[in-house]
Amino acid sequence: MSSRQRAARERALDQQRLLDALFIERDGLLGVFDRVLALRGTAQVLRDAVGADVGFVADLSASDEVVIRWLSGNRTDSLQDLVVPIGQGVGGRVLALGRPVRVSDYVSAASITHPRHFDTAVQAEALGAMLAVPILDGVRTIAVAYASLRGPGEFGDRSVRTMEGIAAEAARALRLAALAEAGRKDAVSAERRRMQASLHDSVGAMLFSIGAQVRDLRSSLIDNPALGNRLGQLEADISAVSAALREALLALAESSPERALPVELAEHCRSFEARTGVPARFVQLDEVPPLDAERTSLLTGVVREGLLNAEKHARPRTVIVSLGAVEGGIQVAVADDGDGLRAGGAADPAESSGLGLAMLAERAARLGGRLSLVHAEDEGATLRIMLPLPPEDGGVR
């Protein structure tokens, strides 16, 4: 062993001891562990541990390829963000086999594939001998760790074992980083839920009470038009504040396209009832399949608009939101028993003076669906959307 390699191994042992000490105290470090920091640090440790010229780490992407992200000792950016598919080059073979792969001279090695842009990137760094090992979560490869020499050479079995040990520690760091991130998200979610409940119970109830008192006082006025006008403006201001509160509560609810549509619609009904005091019931008529983000967003948007119009214009006693299946698609309706949804008097929302309904009608049409608004002869109105499912779903199952 050369003096250079002995010195490098001593430095690596010192760093390994430090890393071990950090892992002993991992429970206290959960709040500061970070995936990026863990993998960037791994690249440096890899390089020193085996006396390599360059160390680098590739992270697994959503498409099951790895992408080289973190480098130590590199002279160029030729390897930065290089995408490595399964089976290609050294890293791709590691992905395919789930075990270490080494070559004594990358460019001339017959045991690996040689995509032209891979060889170009490697030659730009003047790399020869290369060793790559998987970073495993159980049996699944979640990243690939590399070490390389400039020029031909050999990585022995001891180097392989050293690299595997570092990869195991890196996997532990990544698990801790994931736990820390989950803890942070849980804490944020808990605080958002607390804030949402607090706003519902305090501000929402207060606005409903004030609004009801203003309406009662305004209805009792007979001979004071000026005061009636002021009360009317105050009622409009309260309605505007209620709408702003509703948007804030929706944001705090952390709604996302991936959530099941029935859960979304039921939450909007609960929010409407808490905000207005008017009973709002969600009824699911049929089982419906999970929908993509665009369709979920449109259907929940229709329900939000229907509930908002009922709140602002209809003065209903009850509201019912229904979800069901139709031939090849899905149907959602918002029905109230009030004075009727005012939308410029148009039966076709696309011709309505209400901007919200017109935009929703356009979105529905782009997806092959239709939005309709039907006024009952005596009282009440129903806002309904019928939307086909994507062709690949083959209809409602």
DSSP state of 20: H
Q: Domain 3-183: state its class.
A: alpha beta
Tokens 């022995």 appear where? Answer: 156
Mean pLDDT of the chain: 79
pLDDT score at 191: 58
For residue range 312-344, list pLDDT tens digits in order. 878 888 999 999 988 889 999 999 988 755 444
Domain 259-397: assigned CATH number: 3.30.565.10
User: With 90 as the cut, is the pLDDT of residue 111 above it?
Assistant: yes
Q: What are phi and psi of 320, to 5 degrees?
A: -125, 130
Taking residues 18-22, report their average pLDDT.
Answer: 54
pLDDT score at 393: 44
Q: What are the percentages of helix, strand and coil residues in the chain, rounded to 5?
A: 50, 20, 30
For residue range 69-107, list pLDDT tens digits in order. 889 999 999 999 899 999 999 999 999 999 999 999 999
- Using CB atoms within 10 Å of the CB of residue 390, give its burial: 0 to 12 exposed, 13 to 18 middle, 19+ buried: middle
pLDDT score at 297: 85
List the chain domain ranges: 3-183, 259-397
Taking residues 12-41, report their average pLDDT.
Answer: 57
Torsion of CA 126, 132, 137, 138, to 10 degrees: 170
DSSP-derived secondary structure for 114-148: --HHHHHHHHHTT---EEEEEEEETTEEEEEEEEE
For residue range 159-214, list pLDDT tens digits in order. 999 999 999 988 888 887 777 666 655 555 665 666 666 665 666 666 666 777 77
pLDDT score at 155: 94
- What the block records as the tokens of 341 is 């949804």
pLDDT score at 263: 77
The span from the CA of 76 to the CA of 71, in Å, is 10
User: With 70 as the cut, is the pLDDT of residue 254 above it?
Assistant: no
For residue range 258-305, list pLDDT tens digits in order. 456 887 788 788 878 877 888 899 998 888 887 888 888 899 889 988
User: With 50 as the cut, is the pLDDT of residue 31 above it?
Assistant: no
Q: Nearest-CA neighbor of 199 among 191, 210, 188?
A: 191
User: With 80 as the cut, is the pLDDT of residue 308 above it?
Assistant: yes
Q: Nearest-CA neighbor of 99 among 66, 140, 133?
A: 133
User: With 50 as the cut, is the pLDDT of residue 353 above it?
Assistant: no
Taking residues 237-253, report their average pLDDT.
Answer: 63
pLDDT score at 143: 92
pLDDT score at 159: 93
